[in-house]
Amino acid sequence: MDQIITERVVMTSGKIQDLIELEIIEEECEKYFSFDPQCELNHNCTIKECLTAGDIPIGGKKENYYFYCIRQNNILIGFLDYYLEYKEKDTAYFSSIYIKEAYRKNGIGKEIIDEIIKKFISIGIKEIRLRVSLRNAMAINFWVRQGFDRIINVEYNGNLLPENFGGIELMKKI
């Protein structure tokens, strides 16, 4: 089993058997992943879609997609998914990471990202990209603190009115 262990959490490959627990977390995280209205540029997979088909970029391969359940003391506290060889062989793309509110602001997110970056370095990844809603200031702040401070792209369909979309793609060289 593909497993990543940090000081406080264990990340294991997500399985369809985890779906009931994951859907409870998905309900909590909906407010964070729905800052923007759905549109062609802003598609978010459901947890079930991630577990069964994967959140695969156009032209991508399922074998490059990874979904992890994050547990602390055997309690599911979040999930993380990413895609390897995103546009380039040495690039990874974080699709999403979510930690339940009750487990935040204690360094677990940083601990997870640090461990994933170690794994990426060991397999030859040189840069990591991700996308964040321009409305999600907490997430932007988190990612910039983790070193994702290069803006690659800004996607939008007008000024940030409630009916419009706005996202920023960030990148970190490792």
Check which CATH number belongs to the domain holding 66 and give it: 3.40.630.30
What domain range is 116 assigned to?
3-131
Domain-located, residue 172: no
Which strand (E) or helix (H) includes residue 19? helix 19-33
CA 152 to chain centre: 17
- In tens digits, the chain (174 residues) has pLDDT values of 589 999 999 999 999 999 999 999 988 887 666 665 554 444 568 899 999 999 898 888 999 999 999 999 999 999 999 999 999 999 999 998 999 999 999 999 999 999 999 999 999 999 999 999 888 889 999 999 999 999 999 988 877 777 777 889 999 999
Q: How many domains does the chain have?
A: 1
pTM of the entire predicted model = 0.90
- Residues sharing a CB contact under 8 Å with residue 166, sequence separation 6 or more, in sequence order: 36, 133, 134, 135, 154, 155, 156, 160
Domain-located, residue 81: yes
Domain-located, residue 98: yes
Cα atoms in the Cβ-side hemisphere of radius 13 Å centred on 134: 17
- With tokens 């996202």, the residue in question is 167
